[in-house]
Amino acid sequence: SGTSRPVRILHHVQKVAQYGDAQSVLSAVDSYCSKIEWAMNVGDLKGQILDAVVLETRPHYVLELGTYCGYSTVRIARLLPPGARLFSIEMNPQYAQVAREIIQHAGLDVDILVGCTSDLIPQLKKKLDIEKFDFVFIDHWKVSYLRDTKLLEECDLLRPGSVLLADNVTCPGAPDYLHYMRTSPRYESQYFPSRLEYLQVEDGMEKSVFLA
C-alpha cells in the first residue's frame, strides 16, 4: 500500500473529526484503530489513566518522549491550562509530520522536536529556556526508558514532585525501568493495571514521583 499506517490514520481524522475539537480527533483515532487497523496509540482505556494523572498534576511544563501520531499529545494538551507548554520528542520524521497535522486538526499548540532523546534532552534547558518539567509522559523505545530517565536527572530537569508516567511497562514491558523506579529511594512509584490499546492483552502504566 502506498501510504503508511500513520498517514491512513491522519486521513481518517481529517475526514471524520471536527476541526478544533480534540475529543472528536481522539474518538476518530480510537474508532479507526479498533475497527480498521491496530496502531500503538495509548488508546482510550490507558488514556483515561493519563487524563487523571495530568488533571491531578496540573503541570505547566510537560515533556513527552515518543509522539507517534500525536494521540497522547492531543490527550495531554487538551487538559492543559492556557500558558502551559508541551514539548514532544519524536525521532521518526514521518511520524512527527503526521502528528503535527493531527494536533493542528485538534486545534492545539504543541512543540514537536525531531531527533532522539539522547541528543535533545541535554539541549532542552538552553534551547527552550526551561528550568524543570512538572510532568513527563514516557512512550518511546522501551529499552530507552531507563537511560532517558537517568538523563533527565543528570540534566537537572526534574524537581521534587515532578511526575513521570510510563506507558507499556507490562506489554511490551520495560523491566529495567520498573526495577529502578520501584527500588530507587529517589522515587515514589505506583502501578496502574490496564489493557494494551484496542486489545484484551494485559498492560499497565507506572506513575513515579521524583522526590529529590
Ligand X SMILES: O=C(NCc1cccc(CNc2ccc3[nH]ncc3c2)c1)c1cc(-c2ccc(F)cc2)cc(O)c1O
How many residues interact with ligand X (rule CB under 6 A)? 20
The least distance separating ligand X from the CB of residue 66, rounded to whole angstroms, comes to 4
Contact yes or no for 102/11 (Cβ under 8 A): no
Residue 67 binds Mg ion, judged by CB under 5 A: no
Contact yes or no for 121/148 (Cβ under 8 A): yes
Residue 92 binds ligand X, judged by CB under 6 A: yes
The least distance separating ligand X from the CB of residue 210, rounded to whole angstroms, comes to 20
160-179 binders of Mg ion (CB under 5 A): 167-168
| 168, 203, 206, 207: the active-site residue | 168
Determine the Cα angle at 78 with ends 53 and 187, to 5°: 25
- What whole-number distance in Å separates Cα of residue 163 and Cα of residue 102? 26
**Catalytic site includes residue 168:** yes
- What whole-number distance in Å separates Cα of residue 92 and Cα of residue 67? 9
Strand, coil or helix: 156: coil
Residue 116 binds ligand X, judged by CB under 6 A: yes
50-69 binders of ligand X (CB under 6 A): 65-66
Residue 140 binds ligand X, judged by CB under 6 A: yes
